[in-house]
Amino acid sequence: MGNTQMHQRPIGRRITPQRAQFRRLAESADIGTVTRAQLAVLAQSLTCTGLINGTESHLLVALINTVPADSFDRSGRPIVFKSNQQLAFEIGRSVGRVSRMLSSLFDAGLITMQDSGNYKRYPIRNGDGEITDGCGIDLRILIVRYAELDGLVRQVRAEKKAADAGLRRYRGALRNALSAAARLSEDSLNRIGARIERLSNIVGIASKASSRVLRRATALLEWLIERMMQLPRRSAEAQETQNMTCPHVENGMHIQITTPHPFDESNHERRSAKAGSASKWAFEESLGRGRSEINQPRRLPQAMVALQDVLRAVPAMKTYGFAPSSWAELARAIPLMCRFAGISEDARARAVEQMGEQQAAVAVAVTLEKYDRQEVNSPGGYLRAMTDRARAGELHLARSVFGLAARNSMEVRH
């Protein structure tokens, strides 16, 4: 006779540290604070969060409806004692599928389970017939986590609602922009069409884009429509740029030494600026000038600028949805600003390597402003030229910043 092979029975559902923690959490449930109807509605809504799928939600609802409503009262004990075979019959799935789904619900912290020695589910009652404990599917953890799960469902629904609203507004703005661009001349149509196409490529599939990206893209499209229709600047920008010099004074000892035209070299330029036409000499000279003009000595030393000066000089950043409150935030926004302006990664990397991260951020912001004003046709080439001048020690970003701020202030005033 051969050796008889004994088939050991499975030891039961595997217990992990996480499942043990869920069991401990379920014991702290304050029964009576949540009704069965509230839990049933919650179980149906959990599919939108991605915690469970539709079939698992169906099983969870069946478990909740199996327990009598009075089991969720103060003296109740919401435990399900049905077998997997009975649950499989009720939801129309196989027994093995139900077992796997129960494990998934256990891992998600939506149920806890206690197996008996003979793998049966049964209640343990006291002398009065009340259930005090049992081996089965315990739903008390849903009571403990009800506020958390309900808040998660509300958050997901709010995000979905905001995303849908942003998607509708973005598509409407895109349609309006294309309609407005169709009435432009061929040259303007090509230029505006290229910007709209670049923006569309950045957004990608609109239905999969985040609400933050859609809001920025919509603001940019609406701004393009205003520019195509030649509408005046908005009053909110006028309020922000009205006081161009030193709006934030920390104490009474601050002495105002900054003028709107710190780099003008003649009274004639100041008079022409006051008349409404800002002299180009007040800004950084065109990058296309001859080397003889660039190499002329300057009497003023290289100056540092504050972040507030950059924000006043580059209102295009707000148009594109950027509002940095620190230099670090401005540096983090530079890659996306380069994409909006069409600046290559290589040009940006060379600028950072040559100027440093902070000065490169200012240079990109100035380039974005001039590209937004249609004063620069090739932002990437413009930034490379600024990098070359920085290498030669002939770049004066402070002049560009103060000059742009002065021009913005005069445009708003007039």
pLDDT at residue 143, rounded to an integer: 92
CA distances from 148 to 18, 19, 61 (A): 18, 18, 18
Q: Is the pLDDT of residue 302 over 50?
A: no
Q: Rounded distance, CA 229 to CA 181, Å?
A: 10
Q: Rounded distance, CA 111 to CA 89, Å?
A: 20
CA distances from 111 to 30, 48, 80 (A): 16, 19, 10
pLDDT per residue as tens digits for the range 12-54: 577 888 888 998 898 888 888 999 999 999 999 999 999 999 9
- Please tell me the number of Cα atoms within 13 Å of 236 on its side-chain side: 3
Tokens, residue 63: 């478990």
CA distances from 301 to 97, 117, 245, 396, 398 (A): 77, 86, 19, 9, 10
Beta strands 137-138 and 122-125, pairing class: unpaired
Task: Pick from 42-51, 128-137, 194-203, 257-266 the range whose average pLDDT is largest.
Answer: 42-51
Q: Is 137 exposed, middle or buried (0-12, 13-18, 19+ CB in 10 A)?
A: buried
pLDDT per residue as tens digits for the range 115-170: 765 567 767 666 666 666 667 888 989 999 999 999 999 999 988 888 888 888 88
Q: Rounded distance, CA 394 to CA 355, Å?
A: 12
% pLDDT > 70, the chain:
74
Confidence of residue 5 (pLDDT cuts 50, 70, 90): low
